[in-house]
Amino acid sequence: MENPYMPYPVRIDDIEIATEDKSLKTFKFVFLNKEDEEKFSYHAGQFAELSIPGVGEIPIGIASSPVEKGFVKFTVFRTGVVTSHLHNMKVGDIMGIRGPLGNWYPWDKLENKNVVIIGGGFAFTTLRSSIIYMLDPANRSRFKNIDVVYGARSPGMLLYREELFVV
Ligand SMILES: Cc1cc2nc3c(=O)[nH]c(=O)nc-3n(C[C@H](O)[C@H](O)[C@H](O)COP(=O)(O)OP(=O)(O)OC[C@H]3O[C@@H](n4cnc5c(N)ncnc54)[C@H](O)[C@@H]3O)c2cc1C
């Protein structure tokens, strides 16, 4: 039986500074074992525990979408012990991911409906996952109009600007 408390080993593949004040970074991870990526099968809206041996574990929403294969992404705000440690880590470093955990958005209930997504600040992570999921060619026809209303304290604090075509 799988031990749900055992993190899957991952390598930091890319780190992107996500906001102008550098308080948010987006980490792209790849699984060291291909079969772990398959076991880590998630829905848009779920979160995972990011696990740094000897430091701690933090729950973080999954910012990548299930339709994006080969990696998982998380956007992390630097606030305390574990998030600060993570912000100081480098591409190539190894750590762990445990999950997926939590509920997800009820995609079947949203089918054939207009969808309005409203979010603010860095709580937008799992909404990014959802938007990418709905816009995927395999899913787009299941939904009618998709409108996104997104705000942050200042324009420089908006996440995923290029993807969202923010001007
Ligand atoms: C389901 C879920 C999803 C989440 N998704 C995200 C996400 O996508 N992105 C994200 O960035 N965050 C997310 N969070 C929040 C994230 O889990 C927390 O920011 C993280 O756990 C903080 O861990 P830390 O060790 O860095 O902070 P800690 O060290 O635990 O500190 C937490 C807070 O307490 C303060 N603090 C710590 N020690 C002291 C002290 N001695 N005196 C006074 N204040 C102190 C810190 O300054 C900080 O503000 C999510 C949380 C949940 C539950």
Q: Which residue has its alpha carbon closest to ligand 1 atom 41? A: 80
Split at pLDDT 50, 70, 90, the class of 96 is very high
Q: Ligand 1 site: residues with CB under 6 angstroms? A: 47, 56, 58-61, 75-77, 79-84, 102, 122, 125
Q: Which residue has its alpha carbon closest to ligand 1 atom 38? A: 80
Instruction: Look up residue 83 and give its two tokens.
Output: 């998030």
Ligand 1 atom nearest to 62, measured from its CA: 8
pLDDT tens readout for residues 28-63: 999 999 999 999 999 999 999 999 999 999 999 999
Q: Which amino acid is at 100?
A: P
Alpha helices in 40-155 (DSSP H): 81-87, 107-110, 125-135
Find the 24 Cα to ligand 1 centroid distance in Å. 13
Residue extents of the structural domains in the chain: 8-101, 107-164
| 3-state percent breakdown (helix, strand, coil) of the chain, nearest 5 | 25, 35, 40
pLDDT computed for residue 164 by the predictor? 77
pLDDT at 162 over 50: yes
Domain 8-101 part of CATH 2.40.30.10: yes
Query: From CA 74, how far away is CA 3, in angstroms rounded?
Result: 23
Q: Which residue has its alpha carbon closest to ligand 1 atom 30? A: 80
Q: Which residue has its alpha carbon closest to ligand 1 atom 33? A: 80
pLDDT tens readout for residues 3-21: 888 999 999 999 999 999 9
Ligand 1 atom nearest to 78, measured from its CA: 26
Instruction: Look up the pTM and report it.
Output: 0.94
Find the 107 Cα to ligand 1 centroid distance in Å. 29
pLDDT tens readout for residues 110-127: 999 999 999 999 889 999
Strand partners, 150: 119
Query: From CA 136, how far away is CA 131, in angstroms rounded?
Result: 9
Q: What percent of the chain has pLDDT over 90?
A: 89
Report helix, strand or coil for 167.
Answer: coil
